[in-house]
Amino acid sequence: MRRSQIILLIFWVELCVVSSRSLWSEPIWQTGTLQAVEKKVESTPRTFLWDVVVTSTDVITYRLQIRTGDQTYVADYTPDIQPSDLPAGWQLGQALKLRVEKKKMIIKTSYGEITTYIRDSK
């Protein structure tokens, strides 16, 4: 083999090793503090009797304000099961393990991960 082919082969092997490390590495978790929680209820009418709403469906969404270092995030969390409360460990001033991915914030709980959607960051 020529010297240029050997160098190219070494470069390719190094590239594979580096990329495989990033695929198998654990996600980086930050610690944040829950600063505020606002509960929002959105009612959607389902059936009417003339002008009166007879049945409706309520969807609960929580607006969370979470501070990490010098950054404050405002995120919305809508539980999959409705109606539902916040997880037990989510108290004001409580530390949370989280990671930010684009417009999502993943929060670690004792039973798994919960995805919230970032509305604003300051």
Give the global pTM: 0.70
What tokens does 17 get? 């090793």
Determine the pLDDT at residue 20.
53
Residue numbers in the chain where pLDDT is lower than 50 = none
CA dihedral (122, 31, 113, 37) positive or negative: negative
Determine the pLDDT at residue 101.
87
